[in-house]
Amino acid sequence: MISDRFLLNKMTKLFPGRTERVYTAWILFVSISLLLALLMLSEIEEALLGIFTSYHWAFVFLIPAIARVILVLKYQKASAEQIGESERNTSEHRGMFLTLAGFSFSALFALVLAATSSSANTQLIGTSILLMLLSFLMFYGAFTVEGFKYYRWQVDLVDVMSDIGRLALLLSVLAAIYGAPIESYIKVTCLLFFLFFWLISFFLHFKARHSYLSAFQ
């Protein structure tokens, strides 16, 4: 009993709050994931090559789409309401999406030029071009829909297009990296950064949207 209390006190001092426990868990998760990735370097590279060349990456876009649909269905009443000018914020959002669409369009030209390089994997570069084109279309589509956004569910529609656009952009860069003749450990490091960045970003945006809609119930 005394040892249990002693251990509990030590744990309390080590993790004084929930935030510290969460940060520690994330640090351990990232470290262990990186170690496992380095141990399975060749297997990961072969699996990713298979995913990119067989177009199985297309199923990844179901994640943001299904998540947003569930959110709209859960908060149907709030989603069906008209929104005011402050919530629309059309000019600022359209400017952001137009900038992202321009970036994707410029990167598309760069990838087309990269496809002419004899040292690059042309099939992976082709996949990267297709993903970058999808990214451009999603960002341009979000820019267009922003001008006709009057209901709250349309905000979620724009968010879906933006999520898919960002995901396609990151996947395009990842496919281009795997198509380039560079070291395997660099490719795996880029993959890990991509996964953690997108997952954290998507989770934070989705959580914020969920909290916002729940306030209208």
- Angstrom distances, CA of residue 71 to CA of 75, 107, 108, 189: 6, 32, 32, 33
Which pLDDT belongs to residue 49?
Answer: 64
Side chain identity, residue 127 = T
Which residues on adjacent β-strands are paired with residue 151? 82
Q: Does pTM surpass 0.85?
A: no
Which pLDDT belongs to residue 11?
Answer: 46
Q: Report how far residue 138's alpha carbon sits from residue 161's, in angstroms, rounded to the nearest whole number.
A: 5
pLDDT in tens, 84-120: 777 777 777 777 777 878 778 777 777 776 666 655 6
Which residues on adjacent β-strands are paired with residue 82? 151
40-49, 51-60, 70-79: the lowest-pLDDT one: 40-49
Which pLDDT belongs to residue 101?
Answer: 80
pLDDT in tens, 122-169: 777 778 888 888 988 998 888 888 888 888 888 889 889 988 998 888
Q: Report how far residue 165's alpha carbon sits from residue 134's, in angstroms, rounded to the nearest whole number.
A: 7
Buried b (16+ CB within 10 A) or exposed e, 149-168: beebbbbbbbbbbbbbbbbb
Which pLDDT belongs to residue 116?
Answer: 65
pLDDT mean over 48-56: 67
Q: Where are the domains of the chain?
A: 59-214
- Angstrom distances, CA of residue 107 to CA of 40, 46, 123, 180, 205: 31, 26, 17, 16, 25
